[in-house]
Structure 1
Amino acid sequence: MLIDENRFGTYGIRFHDTSKKDTANIWSIGLEKQSSTTYDWDGRNRKEEDVYVFQYTLSGKGVIEAEGRLFVLKPGDGFFVHIPGDHRYYLPEYAEGPWIFIYITLFGTEAAACWHAIYEQAGMVVSIPKEKTVIQKLFHLYEQVQREEMTDMYTASARAYEFLMECRRYIYDMDAPRAELPPAILRALDYMASHYYETMGLEDCAQAAGLSKYHFNRKFREYTGLTPSQYITKQRIERAVELLHSTSFSVKEIAAKVGYADANYFHKVFRKYVGASPVELRKGEIIPPMDRLFIH
């Protein structure tokens, strides 16, 4: 893989009012090319505390040792580790050529939750195609930092949280029974999952699928059992439930994050699908309580 040398760099991000107890935030981010075996990180000897590294191989090969096992990291492989921790990742002596990778170091309660979710469901190393939204978001985040657009902790926290949610989405979707769906419907589902929080119409979804609006609407309902509008609402409400459970964002903020400019309308739709208001859900005033919701 060829990458412009000017794009390589490593950046630390610090704000005066940042707390390690934040929901999520960025500690550092980088795009690196390592050619020396002096590149060697042992999680047992690092000084950082309660941070989580996601590192994704773009070209070349590296190695991570953990739990008495050795994993060779090839292009498309990513790993998420807790620091401090019983692991070591490095460029081995037998490597042919440089190891090029992009990484992000995060902290906060949601970073911890994401690490545990990935570890429990997918293990230490996860294979992710580069074109997937989670990797594209990581590149976009890196570019924002490089352009010095991460000017306050609130922006950084929001971007960190978005990235973590894409990580969790990818892991949760890994086992979804989607192989039998036509490629056009899969393209539409990927588009809707990545843009659910934006203003989106039937024409946008049909274009992503590569079909006419009429043909797409009919095929989508045939294969999913939902109209495109119902599916988008499903995505938004399911994500709203996650945010209500795992963050301290206000209901109005959550409404905006999942694509509702009108908080009152969000409240109405939420109650229709969940059977309770967002506030009632957050306070645990519904029986049985829930921290995730699946709408089918």
Structure 2
Amino acid sequence: MKQGSFAFRYTDVVPHLLLDSIGWHTTDSPTYGNDGNARTDHDHIVFQYTLRGEGRIEVNGQMHRLMKGQAFLVKIPSDHRYYYDATTLEPWQFLWLNAKGEDALRMAERIIAEQGNILTIDQNSFAITSFWDMYRTISEDQLTDSTELSVLLYQFILALSVPKTTVNNGIEHVPIVSKAIRYIKDHVAKSLTLDDIAAHCNVSGAYLCRLFQRSSLVSPLEYLRRRKIELAISMLRTTELSAQDIGKQCGFDSASYFSKTFKVYLGFTPSDYRKHRTNYPFYTVFLD
């Protein structure tokens, strides 16, 4: 792919979320910059992510350096100014996009409230991967349909709300996590321990936990519990076994622990779930 910038002006408008412009750019110009109170594109949001070099942004009077892997998210208008500082000596290379619409503002406000204006995002995160997918589709496939662009933009902003979630963490880590997941799924009905899973993967329990949390944000045992509850839900709908027997067959050590765990995820006990078949007719429920 090549660096470039692309802007969109729509005749058929999707009211909730629209991509105004998107780009991949490198600058070493001391004149580069924007003032959030001077711009005319009001009710927009701007996202900018550093790939190389560094930039600067002042938000509410406080200056921040924007190093590799850091981004800013701001609303227009607001009290901010971002720019290239020539004293850094290295050009600033970054990804950026400008979006508008009521959902753009609402979702950006939530992200800023939870994470602040300055975001640290792994290059392998779903957010950055989603950005590249969107940029590639626009720059190479020349996508211009407003609805399709909005779908890609929604995906990016949703991914931005969990920037630490990565697609993978390197080829070394993927086989270990995949091996553990397969072992858990194949033995979900057993009372597995962390040591059991780690031993199968020939790693320590602590190391396996770190790999899981980097790739899925949950521990191996949490992943196991979710799969157990999914199995229990299916059995409650497809068998006449008692809730107590289902708990045993799903590897829970006691009926009370099974009921308590089930309620954490579904909001009610296994017996109540079975009783409310009309309101909850699902044979399969996926717990993310």
Q: TM-score range by the shorter chain?
A: 0.5 to 0.7
- 1:93 aligned to which of 75, 80, 86: 86
Question: What is aligned with 2:226?
Answer: 226
TM-score between both structures, scaled by the size of structure 2: 0.63
Matches within 5 A, 1:45-84: 45-84=38-77
- 2:31 aligned to which of 38, 43, 49: 38
**Displacement of 1:62:** 0.3
- 1:86-108 deviations in whole A, cap 9, x for unaligned? 11000013122100000111111
Letter in 2 for 1:95: T
**Displacement of 1:109:** 1.9
Q: Aligned equivalents of 2:65 and 2:125: distance in 1?
A: 21
Letter in 1 for 2:138: V
- 1:8-48 deviations in whole A, cap 9, x for unaligned? 111101221225xx221200000000011110111111111
Structure 2: gaps of 5 or more residues: 169-173, 188-196, 198-218, 234-275, 282-286
Question: What is aligned with 2:264?
Answer: none
Matches within 5 A, 1:139-178: 139-170=132-163
Let me know the Cα RMSD of the aligned residues. Answer: 3.1
Question: What is aligned with 2:8?
Answer: 13
Q: Aligned equivalents of 1:76 and 1:228: distance in 2?
A: 37
- 1:171-210 deviations in whole A, cap 9, x for unaligned? 7x7xxxxxxxxxxxxx8xx67xxxxxxxxxxxxxx96823
Asked which structure has the greater CA Rg, the reply is 2
Q: Aligned equivalents of 1:48 and 1:61: distance in 2?
A: 25
Question: What is aligned with 1:27?
Answer: 20
Q: Aligned equivalents of 2:47 and 2:220: distance in 1?
A: 37
Change (3 A) 1:276 1:81: farther
Letter in 2 for 1:79: F
Counterpart check, 1:209 vs 2:165:
no
- 1:144-181 deviations in whole A, cap 9, x for unaligned? 1102432311111111111111112337x7xxxxxxxx
Q: Aligned equivalents of 2:154 and 2:182: distance in 1?
A: 36
Q: Aligned equivalents of 1:162 and 1:63: distance in 2?
A: 27
Change (3 A) 1:9 1:212: same
Q: Do 2:26 and 2:93's aligned partners in 1 also have CA atoms closer than 8 Å?
A: yes
Structure 1: gaps of 5 or more residues: 1-5, 174-186, 192-205, 234-271, 278-294
Letter in 1 for 2:20: W
Question: What is aligned with 2:209?
Answer: none
Between the aligned residues of both structures, percent identity stands at 25
Q: Do 2:45 and 2:76's aligned partners in 1 also have CA atoms closer than 8 Å?
A: yes
- 1:97-126 deviations in whole A, cap 9, x for unaligned? 100000111111221122111111111101
Letter in 2 for 1:120: A
Q: Aligned equivalents of 2:87 and 2:31: distance in 1?
A: 13
Change (3 A) 1:50 1:145: same
- 2:110 aligned to which of 106, 117, 129: 117
Letter in 2 for 1:227: R
Aligned length: 203
Change (3 A) 1:221 1:128: closer
Query: After the TM superposition, which segments of 4 or more aligned residues of structure 1 sit over 4 Å from their partners?
Result: 218-221
- 1:59-90 deviations in whole A, cap 9, x for unaligned? 00100001110000000001111112211000
Q: Aligned equivalents of 1:229 and 1:51: distance in 2?
A: 43
Change (3 A) 1:276 1:39: farther
Q: Aligned equivalents of 1:169 and 1:73: distance in 2?
A: 19
Change (3 A) 1:211 1:108: same
Q: Do 1:10 and 1:31's aligned partners in 2 also have CA atoms closer than 8 Å?
A: yes
Question: What is aligned with 2:257?
Answer: none
Q: Aligned equivalents of 1:96 and 1:221: distance in 2?
A: 45
**Displacement of 1:276:** 7.4
Q: Aligned equivalents of 1:15 and 1:133: distance in 2?
A: 27
Q: Do 2:45 and 2:75's aligned partners in 1 also have CA atoms closer than 8 Å?
A: yes
